[in-house]
Amino acid sequence: MTDFDPEAGRKYRDQADAFRKDIRRAVEREAALAPVRLGRDGAYRGYIPRMAYARGLTGPELGAPQFPECDFFMGALPLAEPFAVLDAGDVRMVDTLNVMEELGTSASAVRGKEDARRQKGLSTDDAWFWNCYVILPKASHNANVYLLQDDVPNFLRFWMNSYASMVGADGKLWEHWHLGNYADCSAPDNGTAGWFMENFRNMLVMEIGDSLWLARATPRAWLEQGKKITVSNSPTHFGTVAYEIVSDVDNGKINATVEMPSRKAPKDVLLRLRHPKAAPIKNVTINGKESKEFDAARELVRLSNFTGKAAVTVSY
């Protein structure tokens, strides 16, 4: 809005900032008053309730008849979405996410998974890992927050576990992962499809502030020798972007070509190349010139002040 009406943009930005501060005060009050939760590792963690004035979990404590564990899959995580109240890395948000994982995965669905593994003579210690855990992925924000925290392994675990459990025999995405208990789940669900596409898109192309991320969270297996990742005509806040990443890891290289967006230049374009064996980056060339603009620990190549196409070669 500020781009075409600066005065109105400033007005609504000021109002949004004031509203954000009001919400933050309420969140901090609720987080301070809510009881801590005992985790799987014996440590107690703080928890932000999913609604104000709840003073704790609204399902188990209050005996809610409908969704007795609704706090575990419809929690306070949207507070950490972009432009919201808390940073995704805020310790209170991290604790809330951990509690949702640890307590949500000890529910009846996981107990069923434990029984199944026990019958097969398998360990039950990691049964929680194999459970998708959320009844309604479209109402969860766990994967979104993991991605904002740049926790790629947990983003992929949560998103793919939930997605795999939602695919019906017809290849379409359903609303619940246990269809037999819900008579009204006889058709594909647009909400679940939207949840899947949001995370799929952000995995490949994601805006965060003035930065544009490319291939932020792709699985490592996607860049095994000879494989490639291609994105074309992708709309972004900065304009259309396209890229192709081609793996030649057997020869110690990954090559990428990026077509930069031209409508509004991002401050940074961050290209992540997740080597299949997590090998560290040794050097980078961009358009044939050596570049020091990379972060080996985070597997990132920074493309700043480039227009048109950028040809990137990363050596390992």
Residue 235 has pLDDT above 80, yes or no: yes
Does residue 242 or residue 164 have the better pLDDT? 242
pLDDT computed for residue 103 by the predictor: 67
The arithmetic mean of pLDDT across residues 185-214, rounded, is 90
What domains, with CATH codes, occur in the chain?
6-151 (no CATH), 211-315 (2.60.40.1180)
Label residue 294 by pLDDT band (50, 70, 90). very high
> Could you tell me if 42 and 35 are in contact, meaning their C-beta atoms sit under 8 angstroms apart?
no
- For residue 216, the Cα-to-chain-centroid distance in whole angstroms is 10
3-state DSSP of the chain: CCCCCHHHHHHHHHHHHHHHHHHHHHHHHHHHHCCCEECCCCCEECCCCCCCCCCCCCCCCCCCCCCCCHHHCCCCHHHHCCCCCCCCCCHHHHHHHHHHHHHHCCCHHHHHHHHHHHHCCCCCCCHHHHCCCCCCHHHCCHHHHHHHCCCHHHHHHHHHHHHHHHECCCCCECCCCCHHHCCCCCCCCHHHHHHHHHHHHHHHEEEECCEEEECCCCCHHHHCCCCEEEEEEECCCCCCEEEEEEEEHHHCEEEEEEECCCCCCCCEEEEECCCCCCCCCCEEEECCEEECCEECCCCEEEECCCCCEEEEEEEC
> Could you tell me if 70 and 50 are in contact, meaning their C-beta atoms sit under 8 angstroms apart?
yes
Does residue 53 or residue 295 have the better pLDDT? 295
For residue 76, what are its two tokens?
Answer: 């306070």
For residue 240, what are its two tokens?
Answer: 């259309």
The model's pLDDT over 5-41, given as tens digits with 9 standing for 90+, comes to 999 999 999 999 999 999 999 999 988 888 887 777 7
pLDDT-above-90 percentage for the chain: 53
Rounded CA separation 195/137 (Å): 7
pLDDT computed for residue 65 by the predictor: 46
- For residue 110, the Cα-to-chain-centroid distance in whole angstroms is 22
The model's pLDDT over 151-185, given as tens digits with 9 standing for 90+, comes to 999 999 889 988 887 887 778 888 876 554 454 55
pLDDT computed for residue 68 by the predictor: 46
Residue type, 217: A
Label residue 198 by pLDDT band (50, 70, 90). very high
pLDDT computed for residue 66 by the predictor: 45
